[in-house]
């Protein structure tokens, strides 16, 4: 099925349409880094709700969106990058990001290659000027929300809080029989909540990272991925990028949300799990491939990450 020009702008040229109905379209993307699945529902004219199931680090660059789009992202699991002005922020479970996408290319980045969440996409040029046409007392204008949260084309991050959890928790388990009406109620509830919310600029600045810090962390992540056959120390990594170990650790933790040690171990064990599923190599051979000379230490690390021993994992995967 062919993509429309608007779909190319929202999701990029590399997505494929796998199903299309009157009010629902399912998109997938696949490359050497993993897969992504986006299930999009048209709720109101110009307002879509999208379920994101992401297992890749980058969605790739998307073309410029010509128009006036507001993108609201709620993270259920994993970690996603948000660029607001010249600063970068990372949302994790329970957080919400609000960004404007207008006349600029856009790429999404998921540091842990794992992200589940919901996006609300509002095309302010084609949605109703005021949502009171759907419910009398919901006096919410999409353009006003853009002006409120996206001053100077920046954005806003709302950290996890009970009221947000209440709004989104039920959206992840909606019975199909009430789906259409329920989506409408929840979007109106969310936009009404946002319209009444007081802004705290300190909340946005908190836990922000500069472009240099983000570049350092991502370069370090790529270096670790290229040297999974051995143990790379923090001092070695810091020397490789001409920074102090403290500077490296802080930047890395900011982007990936975990320590360099925890990230490296997780990446190695995920790769080892793939080898256990797809090859007949012995556990000892696979352990050596990822820098473990001691099989018992490898088995412990594997169980810490995957919850089972390598042999148990292979047996249950057959």
Q: What is the pLDDT of residues 73-84, one digit of tens each?
A: 999 999 999 887
43 confidence band (pLDDT: 50, 70, 90): very high
Say whether pLDDT at 54 is over 70: yes
192 burial (CB, 10 Å; 0-12 / 13-18 / 19+) is middle
Say whether pLDDT at 213 is over 80: yes
Say whether pLDDT at 201 is over 70: no
**In the chain, what percentage of residues exceed pLDDT 90?**
47
Say what the pLDDT of residue 63 is: 57
Say what the pLDDT of residue 42 is: 93
**Residue 60 to residue 163: CA distance in whole angstroms:** 33
Q: Is 78 helix (H, G, I), strand (E, B) or coil?
A: strand
Arithmetic mean of pLDDT, 51-62? 81
Say whether pLDDT at 303 is over 90: yes
Say whether pLDDT at 203 is over 80: no
Q: Are 78 and 54 in contact (CB under 8 A)?
A: yes
Give me the chain's average pLDDT, please. 86
Arithmetic mean of pLDDT, 130-139? 70
Q: Are 97 and 73 in contact (CB under 8 A)?
A: yes
**Residue 49 to residue 265: CA distance in whole angstroms:** 35
Say what the pLDDT of residue 1 is: 73
Say what the pLDDT of residue 171 is: 92
95 burial (CB, 10 Å; 0-12 / 13-18 / 19+) is buried
Arithmetic mean of pLDDT, 177-193? 90
Least confident of 93-97, 192-196, 223-227, 296-300: 192-196
Say what the pLDDT of residue 95 is: 93
126 confidence band (pLDDT: 50, 70, 90): confident
Say what the pLDDT of residue 106 is: 60
Say what the pLDDT of residue 133 is: 66
- Beta bridge partners, 100, equal 70
Least confident of 19-23, 39-43, 202-206: 202-206
Least confident of 155-164, 282-291, 294-303: 155-164
Say whether pLDDT at 302 is over 70: yes
Least confident of 94-98, 131-135, 144-148, 169-173: 131-135
Say what the pLDDT of residue 135 is: 67
Per the rule left: phi > 0, alpha: psi between -120 and 50, beta: everything else, 248 is alpha
What is the CA angle 182-183-184, rounded to 5?
Answer: 90
289 confidence band (pLDDT: 50, 70, 90): very high
């Amino acid at each position: 099925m062919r993509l429309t020009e608007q779909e190319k702008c929202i999701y990029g040229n590399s997505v494929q349409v796998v199903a299309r109905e009157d009010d629902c379209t399912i998109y997938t993307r696949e490359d050497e880094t993993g897969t992504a699945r986006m299930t999009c529902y048209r709720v109101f004219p110009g307002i879509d709700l999208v379920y994101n199931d992401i297992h890749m680090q980058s969605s790739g660059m998307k073309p410029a969106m010509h128009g006036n789009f507001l993108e609201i992202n709620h993270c259920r699991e994993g970690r996603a990058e948000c660029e607001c002005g010249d600063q970068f922020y990372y949302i994790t479970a329970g957080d919400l990001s609000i960004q404007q996408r207008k006349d600029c290319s856009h790429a999404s980045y998921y540091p842990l290659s794992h992200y589940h969440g919901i996006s609300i996409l509002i095309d302010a040029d084609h949605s109703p000027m005021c949502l009171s046409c759907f419910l009398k007392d919901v006096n919410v204008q999409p353009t006003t929300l853009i002006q409120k949260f996206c001053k100077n084309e920046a954005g806003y991050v709302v950290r996890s809080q009970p009221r947000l959890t209440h709004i989104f928790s039920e959206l992840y388990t909606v019975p199909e029989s009430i789906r259409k009406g329920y989506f409408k109620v929840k979007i109106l509830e969310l936009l009404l909540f946002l319209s009444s919310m007081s802004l705290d600029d300190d909340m946005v600045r908190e836990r922000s990272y500069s472009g240099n810090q983000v570049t350092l962390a991502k370069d370090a992540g790529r270096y670790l991925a290229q040297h999974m056959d051995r143990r790379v120390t923090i001092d070695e990594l810091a020397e490789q990028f001409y920074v102090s170990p403290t500077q490296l650790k802080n930047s890395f933790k900011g982007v990936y949300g975990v320590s360099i040690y925890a990230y490296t171990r997780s990446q190695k064990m995920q790769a080892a799990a793939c080898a256990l599923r797809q090859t007949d190599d012995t556990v000892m051979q696979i352990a050596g491939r990822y820098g473990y000379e001691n099989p018992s230490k490898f088995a412990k690390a594997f169980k810490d990450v995957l919850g089972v021993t390598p042999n148990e994992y292979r047996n249950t995967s057959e």
